[in-house]
Chains A and B, each alone.
Chain A
């Protein structure tokens, strides 16, 4: 079956702009989580959605937001971009409760903020 699809793969923005990233989970997976990965901080949890509801949120400012649609596809948005937002943004899908914590990641969206 198809894996997790993230778009776009690469994008360049300037400070102050906003960006929207998209994620299509594996068919049948209803949970989608987002991570920010940087060389210095590693993988940092952003938020998790399940059945269109945000279940948990990491320690990121309100400029980072997301949503999930009825077909389980998810988007995340970053407003008023800062240089420090440059990172690889990873989306992961998983089965509902009882999955043992296994995450299936997309290839990521690499954001560069100039």
Chain B
């Protein structure tokens, strides 16, 4: 059974601090997505990484795919209250949704 573990599960930090969220698996994924979900809304796609070692930046968010394509990290620089939400990683082997495995999520709270 494929399993994507995210850590930490919960994180509450002060505005302006940096943070890193991890997504780990023993399985190799052809691609990995990060989503952010706000209360009462559906997840919104942030980024897709497909190449081992790939790094993508989205403003203050930096996403990295592990060299072996088994893990990924999300780093936020100078966190802002607007970054608050549930961050989900999802790994896929094929394009079929059933082959997309979601992590349990990291709930991030940024205090003003």
Residues of A within 8 A of B (CB): 4, 6, 31, 33, 35, 42-43, 45, 48, 55-58, 90, 92, 94, 96-108, 110
Contacts and interface: CB of A to CB of B under 8 A. Distances in A.
Contact of A90 (B43, B96, B99, B103): B43
B44 to A, nearest CB: 7
Interface residues of B, number: 26
Contacts of A48: 96-98
B112 interface: no
Interface of B: 30-31, 33, 35, 40-45, 48, 50, 88, 90, 92, 94-100, 102-105
A107 B30 contact: no
B42 A4 contact: yes
Nearest to A41: B104
